[in-house]
Amino acid sequence: MKGTNLGEFEELVLLTSAALVNDAYSVAICDELGKYTGRVAKLGVVHAVLNRLEEKGLVKSHMGEATSARGGKRKRFYEVTHAGKVALTRSKEVREALWRIIPGFNLEGSV
Amino acid sequence: MKTPTQKLPEPPRWARNLLHWYCRPDLLEDLEGDMNEYFERNLKTKGIRRARWIYILDALKFFRPYTVRKPEFLNLLIHWLMLGSYFKTSRRSLVRNKLFSAINIIGLAVSMSVGLLVIAFLTDLFSYDLFHEKRHRIYRIVTKTEGDDKRTMDLASTSLKAGYKIRETFPGIEEVSLIRRGFYSDAKVSDETIIPLEATWADPSFLKIFTFPMLKGNPATALKEPYSLVVTEKTALKLFGKTEALGKTVRFDTTNYTVTGVLKDIPKLSHIRFEALISLASMLGQKADSDGGILDWGNIYQNYVYLTLPETANLQTVQANLDKLSATENKQLEHQKITLSLQPMDKIIFGGRLSNEIGVNFPKPVAWVLIGLALVVILSACFNYTNLSIARSMRRSREVGIRKIVGALKNHVLGQFMAESVIISVMALIFSFVLFLILRTQFMALAPQLSDLVTLDLSPRLILYFLLLAVVVGLAAGFLPALFFSRIQAVQVLKDASSLKVFRHINLRKALIVIQYTFSLMFITTTLIGYKQYRGFLSFDLGFTTENILNIRMQGNKSTLLKKELAQIPAVNQIATSRMITSLGSIYGTQLKYKTKSVHDSAMVWLNFVDENYIPLHHHRFLAGTNFKNRPTSGNETEVIVNEQVLKRFHIVDRNPADAIGKQVMLDNKPLTIVGVLKDFHYGTMDHKIEPTVFRYSSEEPGGYLNVGIKSEDYPAALSGIEAAWQKIDKIHPLKATFYDDQIEEAYKQFEVMVKVIGFITFLAICIASMGLFGMVVFMTETRLKEISIRKVLGATESGLIFHLSKGFLLLLLISTLVALPVTYIFFDQYVLTKFEYHQPIGVSELIISVLVVMALAFLLIGSQTLKAARSNPAKVLKSE
């Protein structure tokens, strides 16, 4: 199943949810992504990705408490599951392994 | 400054509803919350309009596979399983409320029959010319001509020259066909059989462009040689009987024509119709045409040009080429500007008013009016259904309550009641179909033009449309009641059915009644006004007499011969000759030039050729001068009689018409002296102003008419005498004689048809509205019977009760009167009647009569029921509790 592999944007969303800990819901994730990546994250895209991640079992969600904001609608908070953590770690390891085998890779002048 | 208590702007409701409708319930809350959050944020940064806009876009953008609710198959299954139960309960409730069921079904049936008629009619119109294989690529050249005086005329015809030029010089045109109309002659097949025949000249391309299958003969060559004749099967039968037609010779006048082809009969729904085709080459061969210049650019009245373009053709290029062509050719014309344009063949039947139309066509606005009328009547019946179902909902609310308790969801109930109304409207369709069959013959009999235009034959497609109409009507009628039932709270109705807020929708029902009555009143007023106008046209003072004048078409015979015969009939007192019959809508114009030292004027005048008896016979009034004095037998006329408008238009004299006598004008390059001035009279129909008109002298008009004044009251004897006289002169053509008054009636036939159609619709609309009102009154008195009884016990009088019960309805009728009358009045006064130069004023009497008729009927309905209720015995009513 392709479920074990993370797409680039999926990985970003997953990382952001992990970073936001207890405050990870769609709008916050959007804002956070915007802040760190500098690109505008559309709600529609993030929403779809979160939905897919939940289908893959990388995150799980629960509804928060109703507040007066958002027209009285509850938020859906996301939490990275164990499988999610494994996937993140794995993808990080793959990258690091690859970095390591590049001989004398010089970043100077490339940025 | 906004205060905190002020309500914040909300996102658009419909967008939210859309989201609610499609979004999966488990995703909905969070998603909506997110969108709300963004909305609030955008409100601050981007303003209300952008925020709402973004919200709408988001609501649309979130329509994705993963958010969309899956169709609930269980739901459908339940509907399917429950169908039997729905049928059963629907049938029971129909049978239980016989009066209301009858009102609903009859109303729907009657109104739908009109709908069926309109559908059949329009289906026929839209089926015109569908049998041509190249129909999407066939175009016709239509002409617009503009005179010096800026008067324009749109013609379906064009010049032959235009056709030839297009064929020879235009690139990228597949085929061009030239047609000319106006061949009327007697076909002499043998010495015994002489049959009048009307034919169309056509070139060989005609059979390539149009799909008229040829049974015998070679379509490629049939119309090539001069004096070739192609006949339809029907014509072949008429001319030659059962014998083989191909290769036979037919004699027209002095020329022999050979039959080179037999075509399959032309389908009825074809805008081009003909008995026979004659090769165009035969006409161009005869140089002896009296008009001369058949091929002139300005000869645009009898010819038609059709062409096919390739699939990929660019219409703009063709149009640009046409404009270029007109620009070059117009240089030869002095007083005229001709422009050509393309008309696609599928636009011909609804092509609007073009003069010299080759076949039938139908004005688009009339089609819309028909649709509108049918729609109004059908809606009216739907309103009845809606009104009565909601009003009667108390009886069925318990059923709905129980259904809900055993597990029916909102949309199950909705489905049930929609299904019920569809079942009822399909039942009504059966009745309305029978009505349609009856109506159809009545409708076709209204005017011969109608049976010429459409067949209204049934076809599977038509039946499908009928069924579709029934389903749509059912859904429309049942939607509001179904919605109402689906919202019933089960607990509430089971505890106490009367707590159901039946009267909550009272405003809706009132509005529906007001609408129905407004339309009824508008219709009846329209009918009355239309009828008065129509009578007005018939009895209008035309400026001359038409009584007891019989117009006989000469059909090519010598006027003098027939005159001699007719003069011997005692009942005939005066005989005149004229080229045409005025005031019936046909017109005949020519250029009049008036030259003095200072003025140099020329303009179009209308014209008739008459003899010296014409003016006395029709009692035209002379303002000055006399009748024709010089009465040449052929051609050498020197005199002209004009009407007042001519003097005014050309400023011949300022005041005294007598001064105009002796002045000279030029007509068709002939100098003619004005010998008489007539008082203005109507040359055209009522929708035209009186315009400059002249009479010229001609004693012999084989193509025209004999106007016979009949003095006796004994018309049959006079007519049989005339018939016998005609037989002596012409054995081939049957006598065509009509009284002038009948011809005028015929000329305004369209108005008669219109009045009849609208009158019938009015009748239906009033009936349906009355049935609805009746149902409502019955229901109201039933529900309030107890109240009435208590009032009576407490001492209310009968009249007081009647007033009390009916005042609500009367108020509604009053409102609809106040809406309908001004609207109708303004509509006619400002829009319709301004199209007619001469019309009757709208009288107060029409308005009052229409109100009285509708009101009287309504009073009768309301009165009878309220009286019944007011007279009921309170003891009996109250005892039953």
Residue B105 and residue B308 in contact, taking contact as beta carbons nearer than 8 Å: no
How many percent of chain B have pLDDT more than 90?
23
Last residue of a domain, one of B706, B735, B764: B735
- Considering the domain architecture, whether residues B730 and B753 belong to the same structural domain is answered as no
| pLDDT tens per residue across span B815-834 | 999 999 999 989 888 888 88
Residue B77 lies in a domain: no
What does the pLDDT read at residue B76? 72
Q: What backbone phi and psi angles, to 5 degrees, belong to B558? A: -75, 130
Do the domain assignments include residue B270? Answer: yes
Q: Which amino acid is at B6?
A: Q
Quote the minimal CA–CA distance from A28 to chain B in Å. Answer: 10
Shared-domain flag, residues B568 and B529: no
Which 8-state DSSP code applies to residue B48? H
Complex prediction ipTM = 0.85
Average pLDDT on B235-259 reads 89
Distance of CA B627 to the CA centre of its chain: 44
Last residue of one domain, picked from the residues B347, B378, B410: B347
- Residue A66 contacts B, CB cutoff 8 Å: no
Say if A16 is an interface residue toward chain B (CB within 8 Å): no
Same domain membership, residue B456 and residue B426: yes
For all residues of chain B together, what is the average pLDDT? 86
Contact B606, B694 (CB under 8 A): yes
**Chain centroid, CA B109 distance in Å:** 23
In a domain, B94, yes or no: no
Looking at the structure of chain B, the number of domains it has is 4
Instruction: Please enumerate residues of B whose Cβ is less than 8 A from a Cβ of A.
Output: 27, 29-38, 40, 58, 61-62, 64, 66
SS3 B625: strand
Q: Which residues of A touch B12 (CB under 8 A)?
A: none
- Select the residue of A48, A74, A76 nearest B66 (Cβ to Cβ): A48
Q: Are residues B172 and B284 in the same domain?
A: yes
Contact B674, B640 (CB under 8 A): yes
Burial of B690 (C-beta count, 10 Å sphere; 0-12/13-18/19+): middle
Question: Which ranges in B12-71 belong to alpha helices (H)?
Answer: 13-22, 25-46, 48-61
Q: Does A43 touch chain B (CB under 8 A)?
A: yes
Which amino acid belongs to residue B156?
A
Provide the pairing of β-strand B194-202 with B276-279.
Answer: parallel
Q: Which chain A residues are Cβ-neighbours of B31 within 8 angstroms?
A: 47
CA dist B304 and B271 (Å) reads 13
Confidence check: pLDDT of B342 > 50: yes
B-interface mutation test, from A23, A31, A76, most B Cβ less than 10 A away: A76
Residues B804 and B859 in one domain: yes
Residue B3 confidence (pLDDT) above 60: no
Tell whether A47 lies on the interface with B, counting CB pairs under 8 A. yes
Distance CA B277, CA B228 (A): 8
Residue B103 within a domain: no
Number of cross-chain residue pairs from A and B with Cβ atoms under 8 Å apart? 46
Domain co-membership, B723 together with B601: yes
Parallel, antiparallel or unpaired: strands B664-667 and B175-188: unpaired
The residues, any chain, with a CB within 8 Å of residue B51's CB and separated by 6 or more, are B9, B11, B39, B42, B43
pLDDT band at B2 (very low <50, low <70, confident <90, very high): very low
Higher pLDDT, B817 or B838: B817
For the CA atoms of B290, B292, B298, B302, the dihedral, rounded to the nearest 10 degrees, stands at: 50
Domain ranges, residue B212: 135-347
Do the Cβ atoms of B34 and A44 come within 8 Å? no
Look at A1-10, B112-121, B299-308, B407-416 and tell me which has the smallest mean pLDDT.
A1-10
* B380 assigned to some structural domain: yes
In the three-class reduction of DSSP (H, G, I as helix; E, B as strand; rest coil), residue B496 is classed as coil
Q: pLDDT tens digit string along B162-209?
A: 999 999 999 889 999 999 988 888 888 887 788 888 899 999 999 999
Contact B521, B493 (CB under 8 A): no
- Of B267, B285, B293, give the one whose Cα is nearest residue B213: B267
Residues B390, B267 within the same domain? no
Instruction: Mark whether B420 and B327 lie in a shared domain.
Output: no
Helix, coil or strand: residue B146: strand
Beta pairing partners, B278: B201, B229
Query: Two tokens at B863?
Result: 């009165």
Q: Report the alpha-carbon distance of residue B210 to residue B301 in Å, rounded.
A: 22
Residues B721 and B754 in one domain: no
Which residue in the set A27, A48, A73 is minimally distant from B29, CB to CB? A73
Residues in chain A with CB shorter than 8 Å from the CB of B54 are: none
Asked if the model's pLDDT at residue B6 lies above 60, the reply is no
Say how far residue B867 (Cα) sits from the centre of its chain: 45
Of B288, B318, B347, the last residue of a domain is B347
What is the CA B353 to chain-centroid distance, rounded? 12
Is B523 in the same domain as B569? no
Residues B343 and B391 in one domain: no
Residue B421 zone, left/alpha/beta (φ > 0; ψ -120 to 50; rest): alpha
For B6, the 3-state DSSP assignment is coil
Contact B614, B695 (CB under 8 A): yes
Q: Is there a domain that residue B811 lies in?
A: yes
- Closest-CA distance, A44 to chain B, in angstroms, reads 7
Task: Indicate whether B329 belongs to any domain.
Answer: yes
Query: Is B90 within a domain?
Result: no
DSSP per-residue letters across B553-594: E-TT--HHHHHHHHTTSTTEEEEEEESS-TTSS---EEEEEE
Q: If we measure between CA atoms, which residue out of B263, B173, B168 comes closest to residue B215?
A: B263
**Measured between beta carbons, which residues in chain A are less than 8 angstroms from residue B29?**
63, 73-74, 76
Query: CA dist B781 to B97, B561, B810, B878, Å?
Result: 15, 79, 15, 15
- Name the β-bridge partners of B340: B143
Structural domains in chain A, sorted by start = 2-94 (1.10.10.10)
In this prediction, residue B285 carries a pLDDT of 66
Contact A70 B29 (CB under 8 A): no
Test A75 with B30 for CB contact under 8 angstroms: yes
Is the same domain home to B190 and B335? yes
Question: What tokens appear for B342 in the block?
Answer: 């393309």
